[in-house]
Structure 1
């Protein structure tokens, strides 16, 4: 075993956190080929992505309590084993329905990586130092969604779509091996406890009734759904409609990720200076601007890759600003149940995005119009949600001021 605070431990945990973007983004260039291989329509192929996201969302609600009861390491090892086996099984599947079912299992297993990886960082470094390390891991993980379509595109061209899932199976197996022989249990001794279903449901009920939590969560969910709209439709637009090659798709996707990285850097530099909510407003406006610009270009029938990639780069700058701020705002009032708040936020965010992705696939007409409309709508709803959140925060501030003034007037 190695030291929990070693650089190698951090690198292994970072690689486990990367399972999510690798599993969603690596096979995006294969969408058109999957349609041909399985004689499936676009909606069926796109559903394999939405189903993955649903499984990923559901698993978040159970991994936290399981790891609190049995420890991080055994639960994470079980998840990685399921991920590796289901990824390997996909290599041998011969129907789109079987692929969808296996993608669900793959998601349930793979969700353990990011969920418990972050929990392990919290166990090792504590509340203050863990924030610093998680920021480094998040920056490093921005490389994963940029690199995944490029790797997937070349694997697709050289070896076929099966090789993408074989790569993921090997990736999961290596992660399982390294975790088993190199990293000790990180949960503090004596910390294992059982949380009842009723107490979990009670906490979730408290969160859903809290107005600021709801609107922070909706803001985060809307902006993420716009990103997922791009994930659902971009490969068909760039590869089939615009005629670019599979390996080129990954390069265009990397440009989009650069927009996200720029947004996170802007947020990191400005949040202390101007505050979460003001920064959230700027990010919402940027996302809406990017989405509406793409829709205008689609309506004008400007059929060029720049008309898709450049507006979405702008949108992704907004995503990079909005998502961290909305998550932080949602969790801030609930230090005593941050795990439940984070899990429910993630579940709502991913479930909503999966539903939007299904609609993008269902209404896709071969042109960029459906995808552009969805991204523009999600950007606009992000801005509307922020405005609503702003009114609630102002109302809360006025109530606090009234409460402070009442004793003085009574005297």
Structure 2
């Protein structure tokens, strides 16, 4: 923790959570807002379905690669400069997307959006751990998740409205405005939370050695898999939303927000519950409850997809329930991940985010095109992601106890 942590942020903790949630929401907001406009982008640019999917996978690939460096840069230059630089680049990349007339240009600027969007999410985690002890950090992390959930819930509604009443370019002008607003607010309010004694020199070779050391740490890897991979059980449906909602469930673009209300409502509910449980029950009990909810939602989703035609009455609530289980356990596991490198939390957060984003990019570029045309395929793939996370957590819990009180 920063030795002057109590004086760096004099406002209520929830206000810092709102500030950091604004940074964290840029990533999913950049995805959810433009999904309703896929059909319009295809007509305008003559893009094929594969090229449209590349606007997602290029974003996620840039997000994954640069996440390896956001945290390390913040360990060297400070949290504040990295956040402000990321928001500035995101704003410029969004302008580039808005001005794009060809699909190749859009793919390029989407990759630049991905390169910059992760800065806020990665660094915000380190800021929380810089300023708060473990139990309070869990509460603030949960509050961040709650506020973070508001934006993706309204993103497809905003995107659908802009697409219907203007065109798809207006969506990226809107994102540019969001980036500029966040840049301005954080310029005025975000404190520098990196303790002076924790400043690390930035050099690629030592950084790679640090990453190599973390990658050889079984506890770190298993915790990263437990926290990040199950997220794809829900995110798979987000990436497949134009097909899942438009073709399988028959939704119009302006109706996509019902899906996101369920998923983000689940995330917000799970995060709120996680914050209330912080310090009241043992971490491993909270994690077990989260996985139990995900297992129940997954099995029911599989059963209903095998027996019944797809219907929003049960499909959307089950995805929301799965999201609730994930959000209940992930703040606890994320803090465990960061504490694997207490002197380089920025680096640990970077590697965690890079692994998760790399998995997201693989899902977007390879798995979604293979399974999005089958509801059973989507359900089975979602179950596979949940199972990977469950096995990872059971392994680290059984073979490598996280701590005596965990």
Q: Same fold (TM over 0.5)?
A: yes
Aligned residue for 1:334, secondary structure, equals coil
Change (3 A) 1:310 1:382: same
Q: Residue 138 of structure 2 contacts residue 331 of structure 2 at CA under 8 Å; is this kept in 1?
A: no
1:265-313 per-position Cα deviation (integer Å, ceiling 9, x unaligned): 3333345444222322232232233223323333334221124212212
For the pair shown, which has the larger CA radius of gyration, 1 or 2? 1
Change (3 A) 1:107 1:150: same
Which residue of structure 2 aligns with residue 226 of structure 1? 233
Q: Residue 298 of structure 1 contacts residue 368 of structure 1 at CA under 8 Å; is this kept in 2?
A: yes
Change (3 A) 1:172 1:223: same
Report the TM-score, using the length of structure 1 for normalisation.
0.85
Aligned residue for 2:87, secondary structure, equals helix
Match of 1:257 among 259, 264, 269: 264
Which residue of structure 1 aligns with residue 66 of structure 2? 59
Which residue of structure 2 aligns with residue 161 of structure 1? 168
> In structure 1, what is the Cα distance between the partners aligned to 2:16 and 2:397?
41
Which residue of structure 1 aligns with residue 155 of structure 2? 148
Deviation at 1:4, TM superposition (A): 5.2
Aligned residue for 1:195, secondary structure, equals coil
Structure 2: which 5+ runs fail to align?
A: 1-7
> In structure 2, what is the Cα distance between the partners aligned to 1:393 and 1:191?
28
Deviation at 1:106, TM superposition (A): 0.8
Map 1:9-408 onto structure 2 (within 5 A).
11-120=18-127, 125=131, 127=133, 132-180=139-187, 187=194, 192-270=199-277, 272-364=279-371, 366-393=373-400
Match of 1:5 among 6, 10, 21: 10
> In structure 2, what is the Cα distance between the partners aligned to 1:22 and 1:198?
34
Q: Residue 69 of structure 1 contacts residue 192 of structure 1 at CA under 8 Å; is this kept in 2?
A: yes
> In structure 2, what is the Cα distance between the partners aligned to 1:63 and 1:109?
9
How many residue pairs get aligned? The number is 394
Which residue of structure 2 aligns with residue 405 of structure 1? none
Change (3 A) 1:178 1:257: closer
Change (3 A) 1:160 1:301: farther
> In structure 2, what is the Cα distance between the partners aligned to 1:156 and 1:218?
36
Structure 1: which 5+ runs fail to align?
A: 398-411
Q: Residue 80 of structure 2 contacts residue 192 of structure 2 at CA under 8 Å; is this kept in 1?
A: yes
Report the TM-score, using the length of structure 2 for normalisation.
0.86
Change (3 A) 1:183 1:321: closer
Deviation at 1:18, TM superposition (A): 2.4
Deviation at 1:184, TM superposition (A): 6.4
1:173-192 per-position Cα deviation (integer Å, ceiling 9, x unaligned): 22223444565655556865
Change (3 A) 1:329 1:151: same
Q: Residue 203 of structure 1 contacts residue 337 of structure 1 at CA under 8 Å; is this kept in 2?
A: no
Q: Residue 125 of structure 2 contacts residue 349 of structure 2 at CA under 8 Å; is this kept in 1?
A: no
1:342-393 per-position Cα deviation (integer Å, ceiling 9, x unaligned): 2211111111122122233321463423322211221222222233233313
> In structure 2, what is the Cα distance between the partners aligned to 1:102 and 1:379?
32
